Structure 1
C-alpha cells in the first residue's frame, strides 16, 4: 500500500485511542432484567383470522402450482395472427437502418 494511505489509516485508527468508554446508567441493567422477566400477555387471534390466513396460503400454493405446471400459460400466438397485426398496423420498417444519419439537418 502507499505510505500516505497507510499513514492516514493509522492516524484515523489512532484518533480513537484517547476516547473514554461510555458508561451506562447504574439502573440500566436492572431495568433490562425486569423487562426480560416480565411475561408478555399471550396474544389470541380470532379463529376467523387463522382460517382466512390458511385459505389465503392454500390459494397461493394452488395458483403457483398452476402457473408452474402451465395451465395458466396462454397459448402461443400463431404466425398468421402476428402477420395480420403487423399488416393492419403498418409496422413494417421503411429501412433496415435504425437511424437515418444522412438526412435533414444532420447532413
Structure 2
C-alpha cells in the first residue's frame, strides 16, 4: 500500500507543473542569428572535394603498384625455383 501511495504521489506531482511559453521575439531572434552565420564558400568545398579525390586516386595507385610488385615477385620466385630444380 505504501508503495502505491508513493507512486501516486510521484505521478500527481506533475499536475503542478506550469507550461512556460517563450517570449514573442525569441523565435525571430534565433532565426536572425542562424541567417547571420557565415557560410562556407563554394571554392573551399570544391577544394576539399578535389583533395579527397586526389588522395583516393593516390591510394588506389599505390595499392595497384603493390599488387603488381607482389605478382612480379611471385613470378620471379617461380622462375628461380624452376631454374634451381633443373640445375642439379
Fold equivalence (TM over 0.5): no
Larger % of helix: which? 2
Q: Per the shorter chain, which TM-score range?
A: 0.3 to 0.5
| TM-score under structure 1 length normalisation | 0.36
